Amino acid sequence: MPSTTSLAIEATDLRKTYGSETALDGVSLSIPTGTVYGFLGPNGAGKSTTMRILTGLSKPTSGTVRVAGTAVENRRAFVPHIGYLPETPPVYDEFSAREQLEYSADLRDIPRDVATDRIEQYLADFDLTDDADKRIRTYSKGMRQKTAFIQSVLHDPDVVFLDEPTSGLDPRAARSIRESITDLAANGTTVFLSTHILPVVEAVADEVGVLFDGHLVAEGTPDELKTRAQTDAGGSLEDAFLAVTSGPDVAGGLEESGTGGSSEPSESSEPSEATAPASTTGDDA
């Protein structure tokens, strides 16, 4: 059930170093409940690192995270609030989609009758009913992706983290996921969406954050970003993205927009990765 906490995601001054490599350098996020937040950035900007920290799969070198009002360190209370679709669908080849989803529902302690109704509805919504009893190893990429997407939202999480949910999908499958994102937000779920497919972000996002080299260099509505990037009224989000992630003034743009991190050197100690067994995320099967 969606939380009534006004901020769904609160991250303060996140830093992450891998040896001498700084992946995140002071990223803070305040994302209201019910928002679809598009998280953009070029390759290597730190998006996956951020998502892994926000979902409790990786510990930040420093900084704090609360999701739906719960501190990430409080794993038992934290995990039920979140759903996570990583870039590689976490499903078992030897299960059918129905078995995979029933297994996930059991891990999430969803009552069997509730789970059965939800699973059948989702399978129908995603055109998977006819294939629901075939083994996942026979599935196309899109079928696997749709199964994993359902798995990430089956327990009605407060916040769902989606890493490239429509990548490689045909237009019909991609539309199913886009529509689901919009429906989830309409029901109060917060969606944190990382993707390189900017038209998807433009179609569904209420707010966009752009990460560059471990810093949040721009944040606002898609329209605000376009304006800030001084594109003309008909400019696309792609124009805005390119404007805030290129050229020598990226860091200056940060300060003007009031977002992003500092240029202080970060900690260099090697942090230990948190492990997240399937029984605690439900999505790592």
Ligand X SMILES: Nc1ncnc2c1ncn2[C@@H]1O[C@H](COP(=O)(O)OP(=O)(O)OP(=O)(O)O)[C@@H](O)[C@H]1O
Nearer to ligand X, 113 or 264 (CB): 264
> How many other C-beta atoms are found inside a 10 Å radius of the C-beta of residue 253?
20
Helix (H, G, I), strand (E, B) or coil at 224: helix
Q: Work out how close the CB of 26 gets to ligand X at its nearest, in angstroms, rounded to a whole number.
A: 14
**Structure tokens that stand for 192 in this block:** 């944190």
Nearer to ligand X, 45 or 181 (CB): 45
Strands of 21-32's sheet in order across: 21-32, 7-18, 62-67, 70-71
Nearer to ligand X, 139 or 192 (CB): 192
Q: Is 165 in the site for ligand X (CB under 6 A)?
A: no
Distance from C-alpha of 219 to C-alpha of 29, rounded to nearest angstrom? 9
Nearer to ligand X, 65 or 136 (CB): 65
Total residues interacting with ligand X, rule: CB under 6 A: 11
Q: Work out how close the CB of 25 gets to ligand X at its nearest, in angstroms, rounded to a whole number.
A: 11
Q: Convert residues 4-33 into a mask of x (bound to ligand X by CB under 6 A) and - (unbound).
A: --------------x--x-x----------
Q: Which of residues 37-56 bind ligand X (CB under 6 A)?
A: 41, 43-49
Contact 7, 31 (CB under 8 A): yes
Nearer to ligand X, 18 or 267 (CB): 18
Q: Work out how close the CB of 58 gets to ligand X at its nearest, in angstroms, rounded to a whole number.
A: 8
Q: Work out how close the CB of 210 gets to ligand X at its nearest, in angstroms, rounded to a whole number.
A: 11
CA distance to 81, 84, 164, per residue, from 148 (Å): 17, 9, 12
Q: Which of residues 47-106 bind ligand X (CB under 6 A)?
A: 47-49
Residues pairing with 65 in the sheet: 11
Nearer to ligand X, 25 or 131 (CB): 25
Alpha-helical regions (H) of the chain:
47-54, 75-78, 97-107, 112-125, 141-153, 171-186, 198-204, 222-228, 237-244, 250-257, 278-281
| Tokens 């030897």, residue located | 94
Chain residues that interact with ligand X, rule: CB under 6 A? 18, 21, 23, 41, 43-49
